[in-house]
Chain A
Amino acid sequence: MEYLSNLIFAVLLLGMVGFFAMNIRKMIRNIKLGKEVDRSDRKSERWAQMARIALGQSKMVRRPIAGFLHVIVYVGFVIINIEVLEIIIDGLTGQHRIFSPFLGPVYDILIATFEILAFLVLVSVIVFLIRRNVLKIRRFLARELKGWPKDDANYILYFEVVLMGLFLTMNATDLAIQQGVQAGTFTSEAALHYVNAGSFPISSWMTPWYSGLSFDTLHIIERTCWWLHIAGILIFLNYLYWSKHLHIMLAFPNVYLAKLTPKGQFTNMSAVTAEVKLMMDPDADPFAAPEPGTEDEVPASLGANDIFDLNQVQLLNAYTCTECGRCTDECPANITGKLLSPRKIMMDTRDRLEEVGAIINKEGKFIDDGKKLLNDYVSPEELWACTTCNACVEACPIGIDPLSIIMEMRRYLVLENSAAPTELNAMMGNIENNGAPWPYNQMDRLNWAKEN
């Protein structure tokens, strides 16, 4: 019976981490449904970019209020994980505050730091809740956030409030027990298990709330908080996959893999290059038989109709998006009331990818469900409102490129469906016929030099 709690803890830990790993494996499988894309170049620049933007949060702080609060929560999250490590070791070994004998006074500093961070995180998260639910901030009121996305964001924040509350209550009761032991009030073996360790600048303010309680009561409160706190963290870990919150991990690879070429440089489609070269080659035989072995190959579609036509970095982008809406807030089309929202493009891509993933989970392989990313999720009206200005790409704090997805779908509309707006067809007809988007003769291109 002595090791029962250790055993329960080990099972809980392994089960939760295992379930999370299983879902991450599915996510990776889903990302691999996309086309391969080579981002193995310029490694040192990529590492530097990751250090600056993901680790260093350099783009987050461009919006000072949200950026500053986010840095607190981010630093809090990273640093408090050291405490989680201790909690896990304690849980597995049945020790209490196992780091304290090794670290001595450093341990006090550490615990004090965790406490202060926990408090700052609590304050920041409450401000976030107010920003999302009370203040009228445009990017949190957009139509794509109605329903689940808004609830999801709030659940994440509630979770953090509860976790930080549990952590501080756990420390406050721990301190109350420590004080009882020091005063000689608590003498049982279980009470002596609570080593005199740590410095509690925040929870010591809460300790008086628990004065006069018996050791047994304090012990129950402390243990309950301890268990709920670690169980909460493990539940939160598993919630990540079902929420918009995966960015806490995916931001790093996502920034590493982000485009390094100038933002204005769009990809040249190699399938088209091959066709154009063939057309321009006077020796090409248009009736030539296909290369042996390639007769049965189905030519890949031009542009993107569904998630399978996007590349793996674009699909990773979709899982990484945390729906902050800075892209949409900067989008000229969205600002002026058009349907387009770059954030919705990312959310739609992820939702469709998850839908495809669910079919694969169920059937073992993808079976056509008659739906597509284009039209079923993203409408041509949204796509044609884009000015390709790159404001969304510039605004994203973690290197997501909604514009590249918009462009791929435009390409599909034009190259596969010939479904450009009429005026654009006229423009393209002009380029084709007379080398300018307007109906002027190419021979007249130098007339301006003779005009006064």
Chain B
Amino acid sequence: MSETIKVPTVAEFIAQGKQPEVLFWVGCSGSFDDRSKKITKAFVKLLNKAGVDFAVLGAEESCTGDPAKRAGNEFLFQMQAMMNIEVLNGYEIKRIVTACPHCFNTLKNEYPELGGSYEVIHHTSFLKDLIATGRLTIEGGKFKGKKITYHDPCYLGRANEIYEAPRELIEKLDAALVEMKRSKRNGLCCGAGGAQMFKDAEPGDKEINIERTEEAIDTGADIIAAACPFCNTMMSDGIKGSDQEGKIEVMDLAELIANADDL
């Protein structure tokens, strides 16, 4: 993976008098976390391959405010939201795609009331549409016959009732989708939501991510498919904690599809 990838910014588009087809909202985790950066790059490769005229905000992007809001700091959330909305509206952005369900939920549901209305799409739905319209094809059965279990992120699943798009992508890989005992609307949280990602858990007798990872391991899956950078971190840590490292991989759906194509 040494080739450079093409990542234009909205500012560059505007300078050329053009408007991007869609804005890729990278998010803090996708920008800074080493594991999540791989997801970001995999998704960008798919966008490039499909010939999507996308752009990112780059240094003009800032936290959506989701973790502040869930932590109860409405003031900080709305400050972030207003600043982001000013940038987005200034560039006349209409469509946003993001690989983070937290950014997705906040941008889609909580920004409109504050003056920022956009068509917001999670990357799993976006990839599904690219495949459905023939802009992206998946070849090579690298995952053929592999057992993949899918962990529903709370902010994609229950919060926004998107259960099928990620599963359809797994089916496109010719892989065997195995469900965990608690899935879809009953899916168990990975333990990172509600700003838990940034703090230690309260005293208890188990970590939530261990509970969830054990359930995933019980399916006998080779791969845990995730659709959220925070879930990815929590499940990866869970795999390490359960001494399953090397046996089970945690991969984002964008990575699965990019890998299937050897991108």
Say whether B31 contacts A263, CB under 8 Å. no
Q: Is the CB of A423 within 8 A of B211?
A: no
- Tell me whether B110 and A272 are in contact (CB under 8 A): no
Given A268-B114, A276-B75, A388 and B65 contact (CB-CB distance below 8 Å): no
A414 to B76 alpha-carbon distance, docked (Å): 11
B-side interface residues, number (CB < 8 Å): 74
Contact A451 B37 (CB under 8 A): yes
Q: Is the CB of B7 within 8 A of A449?
A: yes
With both chains docked as a complex, state the minimum distance between the C-beta of B61 and any C-beta of chain A, in angstroms. 6
**Interface status of B113 (Cβ within 8 A of chain A):** yes
Which residues on A sit within 8 Å (CB–CB) of B18?
none
Inter-subunit contact B202/A381 (CB<8 Å) = yes
Contact A268 B78 (CB under 8 A): yes
Name the residue in B5, B69, B194 with the highest tally of chain A Cβ atoms < 10 Å from its Cβ.
B194
Nearest CB of chain A from residue B72's CB, rounded to whole Å: 3
Question: Contacts of A444 on B, CB cut-off 8 Å?
Answer: 31-32, 59
Q: Does B160 contact A (CB under 8 A)?
A: yes
B20 within 8 A of A: no
Partner of B74, one of A302, A432, A450: A302
B189 with A414: CB separation less than 8 A: no
A413 → chain B closest CB, angstroms? 6
**With A387-B189, A424-B198 in contact, do A414 and B72 touch (Cβ < 8 Å)?**
yes
Give bound CA distance, A381 to B203, whole Å.
9
Most chain A CB neighbours (cut-off 10 Å) among B74, B160, B205, B208: B74
Query: What mask results when residues 162 to 187 of chain B are scored 1 for a CB within 8 Å of chain A, else 0?
Result: 00000000000000000000000110
Over the window 415-440 of chain A, the binary record of Cβ atoms lying under 8 Å from chain B Cβ atoms (1 yes, 0 no) is 10000110110111001100111101
Question: Once the chains bind, are B158 and A391 in contact (CB under 8 Å)?
Answer: yes
A residues 313-362 near B (Cβ < 8 Å) are: 330, 332-333, 335-340
A420 touches B63 (CB 8 A): no
**Using a CB–CB distance below 8 Å, which chain A residues touch chain B?**
261-266, 268-269, 272-273, 275-277, 279-280, 302-303, 330, 332-333, 335-340, 381, 384-391, 393-394, 407, 410-415, 420-421, 423-424, 426-428, 431-432, 435-438, 440, 442-452
Q: List 15 A-B contacts (CB under 8 A).
A: A263-B158, A332-B189, A332-B211, A337-B204, A339-B204, A388-B193, A388-B194, A390-B154, A391-B188, A414-B73, A431-B67, A431-B76, A435-B61, A445-B31, A448-B31
